[in-house]
Amino acid sequence: MDKETVRERIAKRAEKEIVSGSYVNLGIGMPTMVANYIQDGKQVVLQSENGLLGIGKSPLKEEVDPDLINAGKETVTAQKGASYFSNAESFAMIRGEHIDLAILGGMEVSEAGDLANWMIPGKMIKGMGGAMDIVHGAKKIVIIMDHVNKKGEPKILKQCSLPLTGKNVVNRVITDRAVIEVINDGLMLMEVAKGWTVDEVIASTEADLKISEDLQTGTY
């Protein structure tokens, strides 16, 4: 393992999903790290559902403004030309399908593209947030997460066991071990991360995986 953390490697790989000229929503947690890795010259507008269009990279210590936060209550910076608006206007953007891509965290993803990412029964939560609107309003949904949970159990399943955020909404999953595409009849293994083999990815995935004819290995 190199000096990069697993989360950094996932976030850098997720950045490749962003097309120049697109409007992108980054979910709470690891997805917010993607903002730090957007390539120079790539024209991207980041949107936060609490009412900010034009999020920049994470602030340096001297740049922190406690009044400037994203939906996860993390301090952010604003790019030149950024705009601020109400929560209602923000969700009008999302529900009106004006967001090209949403990169979100996940607790479980099923082989049908179902997503569970908003609660674990019995644990205290502050609310479901905007994920249920985002997964139905954004044009493409990419989930980034660990391939297995803290117990070593698969998080990519035949069926989700946790309460669903949305059914048949996920397009692609990027984990610490692999990139997996949701296709019409299941899941397709597209890439295998450094340090992992195809057999190891299959063994740590409950859902059946088809292998892409163009499978790439060691890509991130």
How far CA 38 is from CA of 58, 167, 168, 171, in Å, comes to 12, 29, 28, 21
Q: Give the DSSP letter string of 144-205.
A: E--SB-TTS-BSEESS--SPPSBSS---EEE-SSEEEEEETTEEEEEEE-TT--HHHHHHT-
pLDDT at residue 112 is higher than 80: yes
Give the structural domain span for 34: 6-217
Q: Please give the average per-residue pLDDT across 143-153, as a whole number.
A: 97
pLDDT at residue 1 is higher than 50: no
Calpha distance 14→32 (Å, rounded): 11
Range with the lowest mean pLDDT among 19-23, 32-36, 68-72, 214-218?
68-72
**Domain assignment of residue 1, yes or no:** no
pLDDT value for 3? 61
pLDDT at residue 2 is higher than 70: no
- Strands 22-26 and 44-48, bridge-based pairing: parallel
Residue that the structure tokens 């990027």 belong to: 174
pLDDT value for 115? 98
pLDDT value for 110? 98
**Domain assignment of residue 143, yes or no:** yes
Question: Which CATH number goes with the domain that contains 99?
Answer: 3.40.1080.10
Q: Which residues pair with 29 in a beta bridge?
A: none
Q: For 45-71, write each residue's pLDDT tens digit.
A: 999 999 999 999 999 999 999 999 988
- Quote the percentage of the chain above a pLDDT of 90: 89
Answer positive or negative: Cα dihedral of 160, 163, 168, 174: negative
pLDDT value for 33? 93
Query: Cβ(172)–Cβ(17) under 8 Å?
Result: yes
Q: Give the DSSP letter string of 7-76.
A: HHHHHHHHHTTPPTTEEEEE-SSGGGGGGGGPPTT--EEEEETTTEEEE-SPPPGGG--TT-B-TTS-B-
As annotated, the active-site residues are: 49
pTM for the full predicted model? 0.94
pLDDT at residue 169 is higher than 60: yes
Q: Please give the distance of CA 63 from its chain centroid, rounded to a whole number.
A: 26
Q: How many domains does one find in the chain? A: 1
At residue 139, φ and ψ (nearest 5 deg) are: -75, -30
Q: Please give the average per-residue pLDDT across 123-141, as a whole number.
A: 87
Q: Give the DSSP letter string of 16-31.
A: TTPPTTEEEEE-SSGG
**Domain assignment of residue 156, yes or no:** yes
**Domain assignment of residue 102, yes or no:** yes
Query: Cβ(178)–Cβ(193) under 8 Å?
Result: yes
Q: Please give the average per-residue pLDDT across 143-161, as a whole number.
A: 97
Q: For 81-90, write each residue's pLDDT tens digit.
A: 999 999 999 9
**Domain assignment of residue 22, yes or no:** yes
Name the token pair of 219. Answer: 């890509």
Q: What is the CA radius of gyration of the chain?
A: 17
